[in-house]
Amino acid sequence: MQKLNRRNFKNKKQKRQPNLLYKQLTERDMYVIDYLVTVNETADIGYDLYTQISGSTDYTNLQLSYGEFSFRSVTFQFVPFFCGSALATDYANGVFGTRQGVFDTGVTNKTVAALIRTPGSRLIDNKTKWSMTVPILHSTFFASSETNTATSDVPKLNYYFAWLNNASTNTSKGMLAIRLKIQARSKID
């Protein structure tokens, strides 16, 4: 009977499966998920970023391919429906802002007075294009199957529109383009 050389046997086995588990845990891929929201210039409104993004087809497809995610940053870009109008009732102005780290069971509206005091908020109107990038603070990896709860690792980020002067004609025509950068790891083959 021939004695097997353990060293040679081990090397041949490693060549067939070159650190597959290690690669799954350490390799990271970056993705961008785009989402559009119609802006209502007649009422103050707030949104939860995770609820908006988790309903998109792109995010659902990523959940099938990866085990963990980390949100890196989000860019909000407002695209107005018109740049000029003869009607004063087409115009609205107010405040846009974000809030991180606080879980809301139902995102409540904020008034202009409350939102203007939020760090990073900005004055807006519905006829001017603008863009704002917000880094996700303390972004850790969370399981792709995890949902947004008070104790989950899913980043808590809400964004708000508060209008000082509301439009009453040609409303809900502007779009808010949301671009979320996601880092993914633990690829499922």
The DSSP string of 7-65 is HHHHHHHHHHS-SHHHHHHH-EEEEEEEEEEE--TTS-EEEEHHHHHHTSHHHHHHHHH
pLDDT at 1 over 50: no
CB 115 within 8 A of CB 162: yes
Burial state string for 81-99 with b = 16 or more CB within 10 A and e = fewer than 16: beeeeeeeebbbbbbbbbb
Backbone angles phi, psi at 58, to 5 degrees: -60, -45
User: What is the model's pLDDT at position 15?
Assistant: 54
Q: Hey, what are 146's tokens?
A: 């995890």
pLDDT above 50 (res 9): no
Assign 84 to helix, strand or coil: coil
Residue 98 CA to residue 120 CA, distance in Å, equals 7
Average pLDDT value for the chain: 85
pLDDT at residue number 17: 59
From first CA to last CA, the distance across the chain in angstroms is 40
Which listed CATH number (1.10.150.530, 2.60.60.20, 2.60.120.20, 3.40.50.1000) goes with 29-187?
A: 2.60.120.20
Domains in the chain: boundaries: 29-187
Taking residues 80-104, report their average pLDDT.
84
- Condensed to tens digits (0 to 9), the pLDDT of residues 55-68 reads 889 999 999 999 99
Cβ burial of 163 (10 Å; 0-12, 13-18, 19+) is buried
User: What pLDDT sits at residue 96?
Assistant: 95
Report residue 121's pLDDT band, with 50, 70 and 90 as the boundaries: very high
CA distance 62 to 84: 40
Tell me what the mean pLDDT of segment 60-77 comes to. 94
CB atoms within 10 A of CB 158: 21
Burial category of 72 from C-beta neighbours within 10 Å (exposed 0-12, middle 13-18, buried 19 and up): middle
